[in-house]
Amino acid sequence: MADTYDLIVIGGGPGGYVAAIRAAQLGLKTAVVEREHLGGICLNWGCIPTKALLRSAEIFHYLEHPKDYGLTVEGKVGFDPSAVVARSRGVSQQLTGGVAFLLKKNKVDVIWGEAFIPKPGDVVVSKPKKPAVQPQNPPPKGTLGEGTYKAKHIVIATGARPRVLPGIEPDQKLIWTYFEAMVPKTFPKSLVVMGSGAIGIEFASFYRTMGSEVTVVEVLPQILPVEDEEIAALARKRFEKQGIKILTATKVSKVEKGADSVTATLEDASGKAQTITAERMISAVGVVGNIEGIGLEQLGVAIERGVIKIDGFGRTNVPGVYAIGDVAGPPMLAHKAEHEGVICVEAIAGKHPHPMDKGLIPGCTYCQPQIASVGLTEAKAKAAGYEVKVGRFPFIGNGKAIALGEPDGLIKTVFDAKTGKLLGAHMVGAEVTELIQGFVVAMNLETTEEELIHTVFPHPTLSEMMHESVMDAYGRAIHK
């Protein structure tokens, strides 16, 4: 007889394991099916290990510029690529072990294998058809295996994978995705990064800091296309000052592989072509949802633009089948997946959660300088019909930023001129990925400009710039 659960989650990434734990907390008998590794792309190949790499690059940068801080360093500063990568992998493994512990603590069963849904209520688990990128072998103790399992509710949280452009297929040696870029045996002397979203820019920043000659190619007119135009322009200036070459409104039309190099043919908006040769190329042109091989076609689950179509509570058009995270569409971010998972299972359990408001999901890019944002850009606010008030405050006017040696940056706020509602906040500079949450909380609480102006910010902190930016929108900035 098949094992029966109240809820089975397919996928053990951030969305999946968080949904499973929350379901268990609510008293539902829960299991997670995972075919490769607990923690998903985020803990194993994305969010966490990339931040470990970037931290190594940040420290290396400081060691190379000790005089900026009145310090001296004896001898030549260097690095060991294998040790940098090993530290990143160690951080990842520590956290994936933590996920296994949390699932066990909450009495969530882990079923090891590949899931298929033949009909609502049934999950058939078999041996994975494709080799794992990073197999967790042997599977954690206490996990179940192949077989048929039943559940009243099935949550699909299968995540996404790198998008592949025809004719520019990654080959693990010369053309990398983020998988290969995470674990190089040596750092390439030259690198072409195709795509300037968060993934592409973070790797461009890392490799440039570690000494690679980096060229970023972006088909759109602006790098960091989802960010506010003004913030993206400031970030570009910083990247170019660091020596990163950036080509916008340019596409990679062809790639030729050599013995240990790639030659890319680039075409700009006018059709003018040029070639560039580098040791390696990183393809960072987005991700696509893992919708294949689950049984969605037979079930009749609605697919839209390559992802599963859901409502604000993760429900698909098929009763008893739900989807969360990257496989359910953008923004493809771990924190969106986690929150979406909680909303989904709380609705299943009969609670009354608020549906996901994607306008309140912050985005962060952990390059140097960092970029962070939430809500509408100035252009999108105007396009939506708002009359706006815009505030700006530069890092050069903040005492803490100057003391840190980080005087370059900007905090920008966008308000509805009629109501004082905060429509969006956009930042570039040191530690802005930590600062942005202040504005996220404010927007969730529907805070007005008056309430923000009357909030006391501690001194000396970088957060004071948030206050000044708000006041600047209303002609009240003190230190500008």
Tell me what pLDDT residue 130 has. Answer: 66
| The 3-state secondary structure of 44-93, one letter per residue | HHCHHHHHHHHHHHHHHHHHHCHHHHCCCCCCCCCCCHHHHHHHHHHHHH
**369-473 CATH fold:** Enolase-like; domain 1 (3.30.390)
| Catalytic-role residue among 61, 426, 459, 479 | 459
Is the N-terminal amide bond of 369 cis, ω within 30° of 0? yes
pLDDT above 70 for 425: yes
Q: Write down the CATH number for the domain with range 175-285.
A: 3.50.50.60
Kindly indicate the confidence band of residue 37, based on its pLDDT and cuts at 50, 70 and 90.
confident
Kindly indicate the confidence band of residue 146, based on its pLDDT and cuts at 50, 70 and 90.
confident
In this structure, what DSSP letter does residue 219 have? S
Domain residue ranges of the chain, discontinuous segments joined by +:
3-53+80-161+288-358, 175-285, 369-473
Q: List the one residue out of 69, 44, 47, 45 whose CA is nearest residue 59.
A: 69
Amino acid at residue number 375: G
Report pLDDT digits (tens) over 290-316: 999 999 999 999 999 999 999 999 999
Can you tell me whether residue 406 is helix, strand or coil? coil
Q: Do domains 3-53+80-161+288-358 and 369-473 have the same CATH topology?
A: no
Report pLDDT digits (tens) over 216-230: 999 999 999 999 999
Report pLDDT digits (tens) over 351-407: 999 999 999 999 999 999 999 999 999 999 999 999 999 999 999 999 999 999 999
The answer to whether 459 is a known catalytic residue is yes
Q: What is the spatial distance between Cα 368 and Cα 433, in angstroms, rounded to a whole number? A: 11
Q: Are 141 and 306 in contact (CB under 8 A)?
A: no
DSSP labels, 443-462: HHTT-BHHHHHTSPPPSS-T
CATH superfamily to which 3-53+80-161+288-358 belongs: FAD/NAD(P)-binding domain (3.50.50.60)
Kindly indicate the confidence band of residue 75, based on its pLDDT and cuts at 50, 70 and 90.
confident
CA 343-345-350 angle, 5° bins: 95
Furthest-apart CA pair in the chain: how many Å? 72
Q: 210: which residues sit within 8 A by CB, 6+ positions away? A: 57, 60, 79, 81, 84, 187
